[in-house]
Homo-oligomer: A and B are copies of this chain.
Amino acid sequence: MYRTHTCGELRLADVNKEVTLAGWVQTVRKFGSITFVDLRDRYGITQLLFNENLNAQLDENPLGREFVLQAKGKVNERSSKNANIPTGEIEILVSEFSVLNKAVTPPFTIQDDTDGGDDLRMKYRFLDLRRNTVKKNLELRYSVNRSARNYLHENNFMDIETPFLIKSTPEGARDFVVPSRMNAGQFYALPQSPQTFKQLLMVSGYDRYYQIVKCFRDEDLRADRQPEFTQIDCEMSFVQQEDILNMFEGLIKRIFKDVKGIDYTETVERMSWEDAMWQYGNDKPDIRFGMKLCNLKFPAHTFPTKESISSLIDGANFQVFDGAETVIAIAVPGCSEYTRKQTDELTEWVKRPQIGMKGLVFIKCNADGTYKSSADKFYSEEKLKAIAEAADAKAGDLILILAGAEERTRKATSDLRMYMGDKLGLRKADDFKLLWVLDFPLFEYAEEENRWVARHHPFTSPKPDHIEVMINNNPVIENAAEYLKHPYANIKANAYDMVLNGNEIGGGSIRIFQRELQEKMFEALGMDATEQQHKFGFLLGAFEYGAPPHGGLAFGFDRLCAILGGSESIRDFIAFPKNNSGRDVMLDAPSTIDDKQLVELSIKLDVK
């Protein structure tokens, strides 16, 4: 070993020990004939003291930032201690040293607040990884990994590796494919998830499976997506939904404890998808704060169980509301004294193309009990009061109301709620709130193709009492305009998402395990028997040989780590991430390959 100790472990108790350290030169400070060097490694920083007797050698071997240095010497009590670092009470009185490797000047400073921009840091990722903030992220990632494995192991789960070179069965996202040299003209696909394999493992009797595993999706990359990402993938047999929820609440609580030292003892809240959409406009609501949506007007067929309160706004001849499909209000706490400038800014905010609303109506619930609204002309004080009560607004609150087409308005109100939550500091990074969202619709309507698509995936089972509806009805949608009236529109899935602070961190379902029902599902998605057999024959076959009831879920590992680390960006929690064009700018990949490789693979380029 080039060292006897790390740069993070020496303390006062070690004074007078002869030690050897190795690490990187963080700083060099010269005071007359004495030189101080902060030596850094993964574990910390230790101060080295070079006395004048080493000056000649230092002159011959001048030390620079990021040089790799080995230093031998005696542990010394410091005269001026540094309480900010664990090694701050000692220093090493260097007797010998050796430069193990030199370093040219790094293109940015290796510090928490670096001067390097995003692109530069990605190109020199190996230097960026030296920064303490990035190192902490990877350490957190590893501790989440370790904690998850320990919990799952203790609960009898078995890590079983599933293959990476599989069959292309695109349904939803695009597959990455791999040309096969030995089978000319044929391709493997990289797995979007080990879904069918883990189900086969259940058929095989491995009743508790897990894997922390890379998955691949060839999608156009939105802000915070990666073409390769990691899942904590789990599956269990002989379980109902309740068993899964309990098991994986336990997992997340264990991770909170192990990684953050947080005892998350509260019961995890549960909410139906319908309530989430109704109350938050969003299927992954951040429930750390209120500001629930008040649906003043809406098309009843979307939420058949909800009662309309449109009488509150009807008949006022206010065209903005009357002409809109949906009108939704939120009560922003304590903002009744917003100035004209501030409400104008909010109006501009909702009119941005990303939000896409035409305008914003507000009602100020003044502290004195009076109301003031931008729609004063149309609504009496009494009417405004009734609306305020419906929106659960208190004196001092500011009610914001959006109106327009249903989906857009609901989403815009949700975005506005989150925006105001951020603005008012209601979304605290160190406040963690879990939520299960349940009872998702089994199907979504694909307008372009006038057919059903699986909201989760084709292996998710309907709620037990909806199975009959699914089997006994023809999935074909005769009248596209009235698709919501088709019996399939109200079939709910045995599916669940785990939401943390407004982010979906995991999701799963109880699976179909009967061949007939699985065939019906494929048929509902527009797959004929031949296509079913070609793509999923192995799974349908497996269901004939004694498939147990089973279900599972997968956590988005990158995102979970990011949220636990208090960040919204997964890229900061991946050692070697790709940019938004799917490029690794450090490696300069992807890149061209040799003609010889193409020939061997029996493919040609066909670039337009």
Contact = CB atoms under 8 A, between A and B. Distances in A.
Contact of A165 (B67, B228, B602): B228
A593 B168 contact: yes
Contact of A178 (B190, B537, B546): B190
A67 B164 contact: no
B545 A66 contact: yes
A606 B597 contact: no
Contact of A589 (B170, B188, B600): B188
Interface stretch (A30-38, A126-134, A320-328): A126-134
B205 A129 contact: yes
A541 to B, nearest CB: 8
Interface stretch (A155-163, A265-273, A456-464, A563-571): A155-163
A-side binding surface: helix, strand, loop or mixed? loop
Interface string A364-378: 000000000000000
A363 interface: no
Contact of A593 (B125, B187, B216): B187
A216 B180 CA distance: 12
A421 to B, nearest CB: 33
A396 interface: no
A135 to B, nearest CB: 8
Given A145-B159, A177-B601, A168 B591 contact: yes
A103 B545 contact: yes
A276 to B, nearest CB: 27
A545 B106 contact: yes
Copy total for this chain: 2
B24 A546 contact: yes
Interface stretch (A248-256, A521-529, A577-585): A577-585
A200 interface: yes
A478 to B, nearest CB: 28
A512 to B, nearest CB: 11
A480 interface: no
Contacts of A390: none
A142 interface: yes
Contact of A166 (B200, B221, B574, B584): B584
A135 B146 CA distance: 25
Interface stretch (A86-94, A237-245, A302-310, A337-345): A237-245
Nearest to A541: B124
Given A185-B592, A538-B586, A602-B606, A42 B214 contact: no
A153 interface: yes
A164 B228 contact: yes
A183 interface: yes
Contacts of A587: 166-167, 538
B207 A41 contact: yes
A205 B6 CA distance: 12
Contacts of A182: 220-221, 581-582
Contacts of A548: 2, 22, 24, 68, 100-101
Given A104-B544, A127-B204, A179-B603, 18 more contacts: A23-B205, A41-B205, A104-B545, A126-B542, A130-B204, A142-B160, A146-B153, A164-B216, A165-B228, A165-B590, A167-B584, A182-B582, A185-B605, A188-B589, A189-B589, A538-B587, A604-B604, A604-B606
19 contacts: A24-B205, A42-B207, A101-B513, A126-B203, A135-B205, A138-B158, A146-B159, A162-B576, A163-B576, A163-B578, A165-B176, A165-B228, A168-B593, A174-B597, A179-B179, A181-B218, A186-B591, A188-B589, A602-B607
